[in-house]
Amino acid sequence: MEKRTKKKEGSRTMSKFWLAVLVIYSVAFLSNRQLFWNSLEATGQTLLKILPIILFVFAIMILSNLFLTPERIKKHFSHEAGIKGWLYAMLFGILIAGPSYILYPMLKEMKAGGLRTGYLTAFLYNRNVKIPFIPVMIYYFGWQYTIVVTGLIIIFSIISGIIMERIIN
């Protein structure tokens, strides 16, 4: 029942958003047609610029959701995984879509099953690399900034994982 309520709220929010967009464009059309056509053209140009990146991101997300099941993730997070465990923690943290709080019960179970604190930390840290937002970051900040920030998040996820293991263990 709670899921349905959240879905309805999300649906209402999106409806309100699109209604607001429609009202703004209607007011622009009625009051200043040049502004309307300029804004419509700018919107179209922006969408065309980021469309290839968005399509690439959707392809990655579809593939990750098809192949990265919780069972597969558990298998690769074993306590003795070594460097592969760090790589999997980073990769899965980046690729798994959806809100983190949904993953917490699974992560708790994995932690009880022997998941290293460092892997857990790296996984959660890399949740900050949001694949759907990468096209937007590239558009607003450029490739160089996006690559550097993403690289720093990944590097510091390992450092934070090591520190957490020393503090917790």
Q: What is the pLDDT of residues 113-165, one digit of tens each?
A: 778 899 999 999 999 898 888 888 998 999 999 999 999 999 999 999 999 99
**pLDDT at residue number 12:** 81
Let me know if residue 84 belongs to a domain. Answer: yes
In angstroms, the CA 122 to CA 44 distance is: 38
Let me know if residue 68 belongs to a domain. Answer: yes
Write down the pTM of the prediction: 0.57
Is residue 157 a contact partner of residue 121, using CB atoms and an 8 Å limit? yes
Let me know if residue 146 belongs to a domain. Answer: yes
Name the residue range of residue 64's domain. 50-168
Let me know if residue 42 belongs to a domain. Answer: no
Helix (H, G, I), strand (E, B), or coil: what is residue 147? helix
Is residue 161 a contact partner of residue 121, using CB atoms and an 8 Å limit? yes
Output the CA angle 60-66-69, nearest 5 degrees.
Answer: 115
Any idea what DSSP says for residue 72? Answer: H
Q: pLDDT of 52-78, one tens digit each?
A: 877 876 777 677 677 766 666 666 666
Count of structural domains within the chain: 1
Let me know if residue 116 belongs to a domain. Answer: yes
Let me know if residue 28 belongs to a domain. Answer: no
Q: Which amino acid appears at position 113 of this protein?
A: G
